[in-house]
Amino acid sequence: MADDIPWTERELRKQMVRACHALASRGLVAATDGNVTAKLGPDRILVTPSSLSKGEVTELSILVCDLDGRLIRGRSGSKVSSEVHLHLAAYRTRPEIGAVVHAHPPVATAFTFSGREHLLRDPIIPEVVAQIGPIETCPYVTPGTRALGETAAPFFKSCDVVLLAQHGAVALGSTPWRAYLRMEKLEQAATILKTSAELAGSAEAVRRLTPAQTKDLIVNYGDPKLLGRYGLDAKRETESELVERVAAAVLKRLGA
């Protein structure tokens, strides 16, 4: 279904269930961790309940809350996920998004415990550069608090995927499935980077894309706004680009 056709509540619930089950089966959450929400209307959000494994979420177990996180509709005895304020902060900051996924992807989260999170921000993996951009890390704030949402909000302004230091990650999307896919991509990227750092002997020895390569990827496949986020100028040739261009021309002349 195209993203511009309004989704019915039933369809949104179905897709949330699919995203929850995928989170559990891919090991991106454990026990009752993680939560998924979808925008149902201007002042209503579908939200997974607290204390339920994401592998056991059903269409009927999903609740409806307002923009303050208060339960509006749902099974009696159910409680809205404690992390709802993180999701509400994302909807407030980015009114165009339709869904939010919060999980604890083990490898990506481990980067924030080890102080190596800059590897996820640097231009290294082409699909991440073109499709997501630099993945920033929000400083640690106690999970489940309104303060966490407030601290994360500025990060949501420019990033669809945000790491939460010593906690987990958040992915935004037009639909629950698209947000889920970004979370899956984050963990895959983190796994590749972890292995690369191990093979290379250190995080710093991992090969980065050059500014010219980064710019080329974004110009061809990404959102031009990502150029600024990597510190690249869309118009002006960077010094590195100039050096690379001249070096390539010289090598060509020499027949290398």
Q: Which residues bind Zn ion (CB under 5 A)?
A: 143, 168
- The whole-angstrom separation of Cα 206 and Cα 112 is 17
Among residues 168 and 222, whose Cβ is nearest to Zn ion?
Answer: 168
Residue nearest to Zn ion (CB): 168
User: Closest distance between Zn ion and the C-beta of residue 49, in Å?
Assistant: 15
The least distance separating Zn ion from the CB of residue 33, rounded to whole angstroms, comes to 6
Q: Confirm if 141 and 122 have CB atoms less than 8 A apart.
A: no
Distance separating alpha carbons of residues 218 and 2, to the nearest angstrom: 24
Please state the closest distance from residue 172 (CB atom) to Zn ion, in A.
15
Reported residue count of the chain is 256
Kindly state the smallest distance separating residue 199's Cβ from Zn ion, in Å.
30
Q: In 10 A of CB 242, how many CB atoms?
A: 12
Nearer to Zn ion, 126 or 143 (CB): 143
- Euclidean distance between the first and the last CA atom of the chain, given in angstroms as a whole number: 51
Let me know: does 161 contact 137? Beta carbons within 8 Å: no
Which one of 11, 83, 187, 204 is the catalytic residue? 83
Nearer to Zn ion, 69 or 168 (CB): 168
Nearer to Zn ion, 50 or 191 (CB): 50
Identity of the amino acid at 34: G
Contact 84, 35 (CB under 8 A): yes
- The sign of the CA dihedral 80, 84, 87, 88 is positive
Shortest Cβ distance from residue 8 to Zn ion (Å)?
29
CA–CA dist 73, 39 (Å, integer)? 14
Running DSSP on this structure, what letter comes out for residue 73? E
Q: Active-site residue 83, yes or no?
A: yes
In the bound state with Zn ion, the residue whose beta carbon lies nearer, of 123 and 168, is: 168
Catalytic sites, residue numbers: 83
